[in-house]
A and B are shown apart, each in its own frame.
Chain A
């Protein structure tokens, strides 16, 4: 536990001591929130759209994007540690592999809280109504847990490619998982093959779970699907990340 906590402290220190490094993770989701609302805001005129406030509808995407960037940053930082030889020192330390993984993964959740808070605050400032404190807390918890899941995905790539040059694959790959969902419109209003991808993309259920914050309000139907999708993805990527760590140690 102590090893996990120290690794989390180290990741948080990186943000505190180099605050500029956090700016892109805040600026990009904010830009997408405001930009996409300005561009596609009139989609709410379509019959069957679940809200008349497009920013409220798209807010979960920006929240998930914040989580995605925080998770991907964990992978990029790990790749940097591998390049610089720091990770080799961690391997020979008495730290268990699971603590090593947990330290990196939970630090992503912790780091994601800052951009998530900023994006939600900006949305509220622009008039988005929050559907209760319970909905807000649930959304933040789901997004922070998604950051940890993305961190597992990014760690797999970092351990495989062992270079920071894999960063675009970590960031864009995870962001696409979020975008190929009900990002812009409810499922029934999506078109073509994209609708089918969104239907079966497990991240859609997490997006819908987070959307309870600004559109639906908390209900069990959205919540259990979000939790189940999150658990499935975390288990899938977590197992592969653990396997990657063990293989890297053996190499």
Chain B
């Protein structure tokens, strides 16, 4: 529930508090600020899902359940992949939740049903991608408190991206960092089907960014698993 409630409350505060931002001359042409903010809420929720997945894995390690899984006749990779798959499912739930919330409060999904499906698909992939980092941290540290400690980093990554506001309107140094932050590409990829007809550029860049994060997260998870098995 926290992975939905907190981003939903934050969405409400952002839209209610900064909703007039669309009146700023340089603001992109969108139907409403809620439409623009939905992508930010989705990536925030998926990042929290990733941390929650890491915490669950760390709990398994702390409680000794992980040792029993390792001793059981199942693939060791499946232990981590299974955890990442559950994080991906949380991403699906996040995507559906925020698309529903958006529609309920007057947002329009310009990309139609296909656009909505694309949003949910990318939310799921995004959750699994960042989930790799959560799993890697859990496997290396083996403690819940360490994984919980990365919560602030979630906000740093999001604040330094164009998830909540157009990149051109961010203040420095966030403005420059957002150009290189994969979260910007992911958020803009998720936002595209919401605020316009589906266009190849932002969506493909978003998918590429997700693939990059996923590859790095998976590599770190495998390394973390090997270290844990060796230790």
Interface residues of A (CB under 8 A from B): 27-28, 31-32, 34-43, 45-46, 168, 172, 176, 179-180, 183-185, 189-195, 197-198
Contacts A40-B18, A42-B169, A46-B21 hold; do A35 and B13 have CB atoms under 8 A apart?
no
Q: Are B170 and A192 in contact (CB under 8 A)?
A: no
- In the complex, A165→B16 CA distance in Å? 30
Contacts A28-B152, A46-B23 hold; do A172 and B6 have CB atoms under 8 A apart?
yes
- In the complex, A193→B160 CA distance in Å? 29
Number of A-B contacts (CB under 8 A): 89
Q: Are B156 and A40 in contact (CB under 8 A)?
A: no
In the complex, chain A residues whose CB is within 8 Å of the CB of B185: none
Q: Are B171 and A194 in contact (CB under 8 A)?
A: no
Distance to closest chain B CB from A58 (angstroms):
10
Q: Are B16 and A45 in contact (CB under 8 A)?
A: no
In the complex, chain A residues whose CB is within 8 Å of the CB of B160: 35, 38
Per the 8 Å Cβ criterion, residues 146-176 of B in contact with A are 152, 155-156, 159-160, 164-165, 169-171, 173-174
B contacts with A, residue count (CB < 8 A): 30
- In the complex, A184→B21 CA distance in Å? 11
B12 interface residue (CB < 8 Å to A): yes
Q: Are A194 and B16 in contact (CB under 8 A)?
A: yes
B74 interface residue (CB < 8 Å to A): no
In the complex, chain B residues whose CB is within 8 Å of the CB of A46: 20-21, 23-24
- In the complex, A219→B33 CA distance in Å? 34
Contacts A39-B170, A45-B24 hold; do A31 and B18 have CB atoms under 8 A apart?
no
Q: Are A191 and B19 in contact (CB under 8 A)?
A: yes
Q: Which of B13, B23, B171 contacts A183 (CB 8 A)?
A: B13
Contacts A39-B164, A42-B169, A46-B23 hold; do A183 and B156 have CB atoms under 8 A apart?
no
Per the 8 Å Cβ criterion, residues 13-29 of B in contact with A are 13-21, 23-25
- In the complex, A193→B19 CA distance in Å? 12
Which residue of A27, A46, A176, A191 has the most chain B CB atoms within 10 A of its CB atom?
A: A191
Interface residues of B (CB under 8 A from A): 2, 5-6, 9, 12-21, 23-25, 33, 152, 155-156, 159-160, 164-165, 169-171, 173-174
Apart from A31-B156, A35-B156, A192-B19, 12 more pairs, CB < 8 Å: A27-B152, A28-B152, A35-B155, A38-B171, A39-B164, A179-B9, A179-B13, A183-B17, A184-B13, A184-B14, A184-B18, A198-B16
Q: Are A42 and B159 in contact (CB under 8 A)?
A: no
Contacts A27-B152, A38-B170, A39-B164 hold; do A194 and B15 have CB atoms under 8 A apart?
yes
Q: Which residue of B lies closest to A55 (CB)?
A: B171
- In the complex, A43→B26 CA distance in Å? 11
In the complex, chain A residues whose CB is within 8 Å of the CB of B17: 179, 183-185, 190, 194
Q: Are B20 and A185 in contact (CB under 8 A)?
A: yes
Q: Which residue of B lies closest to A46 (CB)?
A: B20
Contacts A39-B170, A40-B165, A191-B19 hold; do A31 and B155 have CB atoms under 8 A apart?
yes
Q: Are A180 and B24 in contact (CB under 8 A)?
A: no
